Amino acid sequence: MGPEEAADWMARTRTTTLLVRVAGATVLELDRPEAGDGAYAIDGTTHLEATGELPSLCLPFQVLDDGRMRHDVASAQKSVAALLAAVAADRGLLDFDDPVTTHLGPGWSRAPVEHERAVTVRHLMSMTSGLDDLLEPVAAPGEVWRYGLGPTWHLVKRVVTAAAGLDLQEVTDTWLGRPLGLTDTVWVDRPGMSYLDGRPFEALSTTGRDLAAIGGLVLAGGAGIVSGERLAELLRPSQELNPAYGLLWWLNGRTPIRMPMVDEPIDRVLLPHAPADTVAMLGALGQLCHVTPSLGVVVVRLGSTTGGLGGMTGSTLADDLWRDVLVPMGIG
């Protein structure tokens, strides 16, 4: 497959950025920018700032001067937050087994005090806190795997900033941005979604190149930024309830899998057409970064989808990228 065929796939799938690196070298980088700044609604429709008011719940994007796109990468930010937590742990600022209350104080949830005190940072990162998206208890910590769409997992960022004594942008710039040479990565407010105190969720807005650089850190075994031991902890099954989930990272080659908003486990691997050792950042509407150590490959895809919430983690888009683009390129 050549660039023209890849561009056709991008048009069919509403992809704005497609970037493939092999052994650190960019072998494909295509951009198909939107007509202006705006946002994708959660149903996948495009709304431009110049043509009217943006939806209350949306993923903002910007067109940069060089034609590349900067996107709110949705839940792909979870994996970046995991790396920040790993750096904090390497620096002795927190331990994954710390109670969340140690860093945020009491009253950070709507759970009884006994439940709240039992929830650790690891529980938040493994989606096993036993709290729902209103931070109310539904099970004891560690008993149920439930993918967090609300504030539950976002509190990992508050734990990291509390432990570091820095705001989120400072932490990201200091620990990842400057060491990796990131030039386009910023935290912005997420419209329509907020913590219990009313403060909007932070959304990671970044580009394909910056996300690929973060993927390159993983490919390099931590690149001296995250210890190899700590990185390995993020990238292995974090519990037995969903072996395809590490600590805020998705893992290929594991069965069965549990997916967001799906009650029953599914007897297949996450990405059937990708190598088993692929690990992934995945977000709504098909925001993704895949890292495959056995091939030395980092792949980034950003944009919207034709399927709305079908483009959430668990859609076929992430695997279709391997089947329709990467394998025909001779990758995989």
Domain at 3-326: CATH code: 3.40.710.10
Residue-range domain boundaries for the chain: 3-326
Q: Cβ(202)–Cβ(190) under 8 Å?
A: yes
Residue-wise pLDDT for 268-310, tens only, equals: 999 999 999 999 999 999 999 999 999 999 999 999 987 655 4
Average pLDDT, integer, range 116-141: 97
Residue-wise pLDDT for 177-230, tens only, equals: 999 999 999 999 987 888 999 999 999 999 999 999 999 999 999 999 999 999
Q: Which residue has the higher pLDDT, 313 or 217?
A: 217
pLDDT(143) > 50: yes
**Mean pLDDT value across the chain:** 94
DSSP code for 54: P
1-7 own/partner pairs: CB under 8 Å, 24+ apart: 1/325, 1/328, 1/329, 3/28, 3/30, 5/328, 6/30, 6/325, 6/329, 7/32
Compute CA 289 distance to the chain's CA centroid, rounded to the nearest angstrom: 8
The per-residue pLDDT for 315 is: 58
Tokens representing 69 are 């796109």
Compute CA distances 247 → 9, 116, 187, 195, whole Å.
31, 20, 21, 21
Tokens representing 235 are 């990238």
Average pLDDT, integer, range 31-58: 92
pLDDT(312) > 60: no
How much is the pTM?
0.96
The per-residue pLDDT for 237 is: 98
Percent helix / strand / coil, the chain, rounded to 5 = 35, 25, 45
